[in-house]
Structure 1
């Protein structure tokens, strides 16, 4: 079993705010995309730095309203938000 890893959300200026966890960078990026304001026509740029490394994972993310699954619980609405991400690249930093 792989343990969870921590990823710090970065903005374009290099400021870091918010920690998202996941076993893979994509899992953390999906969490960011679900809270973000990106759309399919205008996706949000997501930059996640893995704690303890000098790697920044760059994704494009958005969310869409989709129909809930047929076996949904009673409390779930008919339309739900579903996040989507697409990996762009990995940037290696010289310094943290």
Structure 2
């Protein structure tokens, strides 16, 4: 691209992984960071996937907490706090 004197505009969201450590090496590339919280407007498919994941996670979380509460009532044991490993499992199921 440089030999052809092409200019490139790269649009990226503001995720931390999109940072460039040596932008001066990108002589023909201009990086433009999109404003925060615009990904959902520009990529509606992502928003749908994220909303679906959140709904499934919440559904499983509520079911988990109700089961823990039922066990407390039946077995007279305290409801255990939700551990990070539990959250990871719920995320994987969602």
TM-score after normalising by structure 1: 0.22
Report which of the two has the higher share of helix. 2
Report which of the two has the higher share of strand. 1
Structure with higher RCO (Cα < 8 A, 6+ apart): 1
TM-score after normalising by structure 2: 0.22
Q: Which has the larger radius of gyration?
A: 2
